Each structure stands twice: as C-alpha cells, then as structure tokens.
Amino acid sequence: MSNITKWDSKDGEFRRQVSSFRSFVEADPSAEFPAEAGRYHLYVSLACPWAHRTLIVRKLKGLEGVIGVSVVHYLLGPNGWKFASPEDVPGATLDTVNGAEYIRDIYLKAEPEYSARYTVPVLWDKKKNTIVSNESSEIIRMFNTAFDGIVDPEYRGITFYPEDLRKDIDEINEWIYDTINNGVYKTGFATAQEAYEKHCVPLFESLERVEKILSGNEFLLGSRMTEADIRLFTTIVRFDPVYHGHFKCNLKQIATGYPNILRWTREFYQLPGIKDTVNMEHIKKHYYMSHTQINPTKVVPLSNGPDLESPSIKPASRPY
C-alpha cells in the first residue's frame, strides 16, 4: 500500500504523482464513456484545491442535477480520505454509490492491483463500475462541453475553454500550475532548505507576474473568465489562511501585498455560486490537522484570510 502521508523524496523535494486514470466522458453516444444524466458520480474533498476546480465547473455549468457528488472528511489519515456523515462532519457525506469507507476502496474496486496514491477528485462511472478519471484538469474539460446536450438551455454553450483563447489558456496554465498551484506544495512539503528556497522564490515571482497581468485585465485573459481563472482561484483562496503560514509561503500575503489579485479574488468569489464551493472550515482543518509532520500540535489558526464578500465587485460585463 502507498504511504499517503509520506510527502517528500529523499532529497527533500515534493514530487506530485501523475494521475493514473485518464479516460474521457464524451458527448458522442457511441463513446466508451458517453455523457448521460445520472451515470457519473464525483468524489471530492472540500479542502483540496484540485477537487475544488471540479466543483466550480460543475456548479457553473449547471451539472448539479446531472452528476452526483460525495464529500470526504477533511482529515487525511494513514488510510487516506475517509467518508463521514454530515452529522459527524458538517459538509461531508457518506458514499451512497459504492458504500465505500475510504476513497481507496473506490480505487481498488476499479483496479484491484492499484498501489499509488488515493487522490481526489475521482469521476466514477456507475454503469461500468470504474473510474473514468482522477485528473482534475481533464475532468473540468469534460464538464465544460461533454454534457451540453443534457444541461438546461441556459448553461449550453457556456465555455471556460473557448477556441480563440485555447493557446493563451494553455500557456498561462503551464507556468501557473508549475510555480503557483503546485509551487505552494513544492515549497510547503520541502524538507530541505535548498528545496524550499528553490520553489518559494519562483512562487512569488509568478505572483508578481499575475499581479501585473491583473493590473490591466479584469480576468487573467481579459474580460472573459476562463479555465485559467478557475485553476488559479482555488490556490489563491487558500493562500493567506493556509499556504502563507502552514507552507511557509511568507514573503507576502494576498491581502496586503497584491491589491490586483485581491480585487480579482473578490470578484471571482462573488460570482453566482462560487461561494457555495468554498468551505474554509474543511480547508483549514485539513491542512493544519492532517499534515502533522508540519504542524504536530494540530492547532488551527483563526484567520480565514481577507474578507471576500466586501467590498462588492461586479463584473464589467457577463464574464462567461
């Protein structure tokens, strides 16, 4: 069994596992995994920024009645993510599809010989009893278009990966993923000073780059909110309450050091439905109570970061 709480390599570096399940749901009825209402189920943690991406697109594309969701406990223990009743852990759920106790049970049901990490999100096919994908970047692409023939008319045609911006989205995703999305983890899970500094400095160089972009743009690529914004938001909303202190990403805070990123974060958070996907209790308790090699006391700081509800910031025009 993989040691899910062993984060670093021998050289003190954190190296993220490559996702193992990489199939696609498609609009084509003859596809291996055709888009159908009620067929697919999403397993997430409200704490996880990668899973958070999928919840945002599920919300914005009107897929809540099409794709079910189960939410794990915020604690990540030696056996991985565990399901819990909402009575025991508000915001969590039991697994009503497979009756699993842990996310690992889902993986082993799909692939009995699976031995890598049991990560979230997981997109499950209830007909074939298998995992379609555990790669968040590809799940959000499926949610973006594959179900357009099923969702209510008001959601059809909404795209966060428009053809005319795909090259730009891919380019900005690449460096934001490496130095910011994953950069906070490479910084925070480093167990050697050299490894820590190697990733902390580029992280803040990229935040300065984003700050400059947002000094002239409403969103990362102009007036339209895209997949690039979604992927960045889930890291930034966790930055001050978690990554700044817990992961030692402490050269600056979003609240005091990046006025344009803060404005953008507020505007994104205030878009309809986004706030419903943010559970700061799960976020903070997960990081501060699960990573005992970093925080052995499990004491959770009080701050939730900057107030994202005020002041009110309205998009200049419909952003998507």
Active site positions, annotated: 48
The answer to whether 219 and 229 have CB atoms below 8 angstroms apart is yes
Instruction: With residue 133 as reference, give the H or E element that holds it.
Output: strand 130-133
Instruction: Quote the CA–CA distance of 236 and 219 in Å, as a whole number.
Output: 14
Instruction: Quote the CA–CA distance of 260 and 277 in Å, as a whole number.
Output: 22
SS3 assignment, position 62: coil
Instruction: Quote the CA–CA distance of 258 and 311 in Å, as a whole number.
Output: 16
Beta strands in the chain (DSSP E): 40-44, 68-77, 80-83, 122-125, 130-133
Instruction: With residue 209 as reference, give the H or E element that holds it.
Output: helix 193-216
Question: What is the distance of C-alpha 18 from the center of its chain?
Answer: 15
* Full strand arrangement of the beta sheet holding 122-125: 80-83, 68-77, 40-44, 122-125, 130-133
Instruction: Quote the CA–CA distance of 190 and 269 in Å, as a whole number.
Output: 30
Residue 221, token pair as written in the block: 């690529």
Computed on alpha carbons and rounded to an integer, the radius of gyration of the chain in Å comes to: 19
- Which residues face 138 on adjacent strands? none
Q: What is the DSSP string of 255-319?
A: HHH-HHHHHHHHHHHTSTTTGGG--HHHHHHHHHHH-TTT-TT----S---S-SSSS----SS--
Instruction: Quote the CA–CA distance of 144 and 61 in Å, as a whole number.
Output: 7
